[in-house]
């Protein structure tokens, strides 16, 4: 509950306890970033328009009447509805920004200026604020473009790398660029907070999806930037490492991911073809990559003699990276078997929501899951009281 008697919302535990985050973002990149901050102890106030965050209705699937999409990125927050077109609500938004340590938003560049909620206006009343803006294509030449993950997967070149060589380009199975940008926003916010701790000065942190996509393609981006090479899609194959892809066995496919000569030697020994490790065509990774067609044929001959389960046990015991191609339930089951406890329940009673565990573990300041994803305007009354301009809606 908001501690209105003390005049503050800052409660909870974790490495970011005491920080107040005003979240004017919606959909994925921004809400993902603020959920990470909430998990780490920050007090996050989620500001929504009268219709709410679009993802609330992105179904199926749903848990009750709420989309699982929304639930996946909004735990740990309090929700208040503010119609920024209403002068009184816009003033509440400005007051929230004045009190916040962090403001994050993903409106089109300049979109909040008319409400006095752009960086220059917020900084005028809160010089120490860390103000994070997430856009699709930056605030210069691409300011007019909407920032949708699928657009950026296409424009960045990511889709050209996804799919079979002779088939159509594909999007990734998740909005991977939004997730990368959300992580980049979190990193930028934390770095700016560290700078503020040292100097007392806030600053503007800007993240855009296209730049996140280009850096997120790592080695493929470097192929072009450093060598002028335009990569192409290769299905499940890796352009620089072999064997590193799915292989058929006697019953189903499995992944083999050999990244060095030692692992290749172990693979060949387990498969009963130790001579391949000394074959000049396959001795080093560059040789294996150049002669991948012949090597694949030889490996498949051996893998066809046993099922994936048998090979998995034998190869893992020998230290060869490999694994089954699971559906998501299999991924969760594997994490459970390994003691990673991948699902945490947030909230109590009928409000309890199973969610995916935060990926970072701390020895001294553990992650806390204090609130389930909020209903629309669930905390509006208390937050309006706290902001000093309460009026019944």
Contact criterion met (CB below 8 Å) for 51 and 76: no
Query: In 10 A of CB 88, how many CB atoms?
Result: 12
* Cα 331 from Cα 20, distance rounded (Å): 35
* Cα 335 from Cα 38, distance rounded (Å): 23
Phi then psi for residue 86, to 5 deg, are -90, 125
> How would you class 155 by CB atoms within 10 Å of its CB: exposed for 0-12, middle for 13-18, buried for 19 or more?
middle
Contact criterion met (CB below 8 Å) for 324 and 311: no
Among the options 23, 53, 101, 178, which is catalytic?
178
Contact criterion met (CB below 8 Å) for 312 and 253: no
Q: Is 350 part of the annotated catalytic residue set?
A: no
Supply 277's token pair: 């490790």
* Residue among 1, 29, 3, 23 at smallest CA distance from 101: 23
Contact criterion met (CB below 8 Å) for 249 and 306: yes
Contact criterion met (CB below 8 Å) for 149 and 28: yes
Phi then psi for residue 23, to 5 deg, are -105, 105
* Cα 375 from Cα 182, distance rounded (Å): 22
Q: In 56-162, at which residue ranges do the beta strands (DSSP E only) sit?
A: 62-63, 66-67, 77-81, 102-105, 130-135
Contact criterion met (CB below 8 Å) for 136 and 210: yes
Q: What is the CA radius of gyration of the chain?
A: 25
> What residues are annotated to the active site?
178
């Amino acid at each position: 509950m908001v501690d209105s008697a003390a005049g503050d919302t800052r409660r909870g535990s974790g490495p970011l306890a005491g920080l107040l985050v005003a979240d004017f973002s919606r959909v994925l990149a921004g809400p993902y970033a603020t959920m990470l901050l909430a998990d780490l102890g920050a007090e996050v106030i989620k500001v929504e328009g009268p219709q709410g965050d679009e993802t609330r209705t992105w179904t199926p699937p749903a848990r009750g009447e709420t989309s699982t999409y929304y639930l996946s990125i909004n735990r740990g927050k309090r929700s208040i509805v503010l119609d920024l077109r209403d002068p009184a609500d816009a003033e509440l938004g400005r007051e929230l920004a004045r009190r916040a340590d962090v403001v994050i938003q993903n409106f089109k560049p300049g979109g909040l200026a008319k409400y006095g909620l752009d960086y220059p206006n917020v900084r005028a009343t809160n010089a120490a604020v860390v103000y994070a803006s997430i856009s699709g294509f930056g605030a210069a030449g691409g300011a007019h473009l909407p920032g949708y993950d699928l657009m950026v997967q296409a424009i960045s070149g990511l889709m050209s790398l996804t799919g079979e060589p002779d088939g159509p380009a594909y999007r990734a199975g998740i909005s991977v660029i939004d997730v990368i940008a959300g992580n980049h926003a979190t990193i930028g916010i934390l770095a700016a907070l560290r700078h503020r701790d040292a100097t007392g000065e806030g600053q503007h942190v800007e993240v855009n999806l296209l730049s996140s996509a280009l850096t997120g393609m790592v080695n493929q981006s470097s192929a072009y930037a450093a060598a002028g090479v335009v990569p192409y899609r290769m299905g499940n194959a890796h352009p620089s490492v072999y064997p590193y892809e799915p292989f058929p066995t006697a019953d189903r496919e499995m992944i083999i991911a050999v990244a060095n000569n030692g692992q290749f030697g172990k693979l060949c020994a387990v498969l009963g073809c130790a001579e391949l490790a000394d074959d000049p065509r396959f001795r080093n990774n560059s040789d294996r990559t150049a002669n991948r067609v012949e090597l694949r044929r030889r490996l498949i001959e051996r893998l066809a003699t046993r099922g994936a389960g048998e090979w998995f046990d034998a190869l893992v015991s020998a230290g060869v990276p490999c694994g089954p191609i699971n559906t998501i339930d299999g991924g969760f089951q594997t994490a459970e078997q390994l003691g990673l406890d991948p699902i945490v329940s947030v909230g109590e009673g009928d409000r309890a929501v199973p969610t995916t565990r935060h990926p970072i573990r701390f020895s001294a300041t553990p992650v806390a899951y204090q609130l389930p994803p909020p209903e629309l305007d669930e905390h509006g009354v208390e937050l309006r009281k706290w902001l000093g301009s309460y009026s019944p809606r």
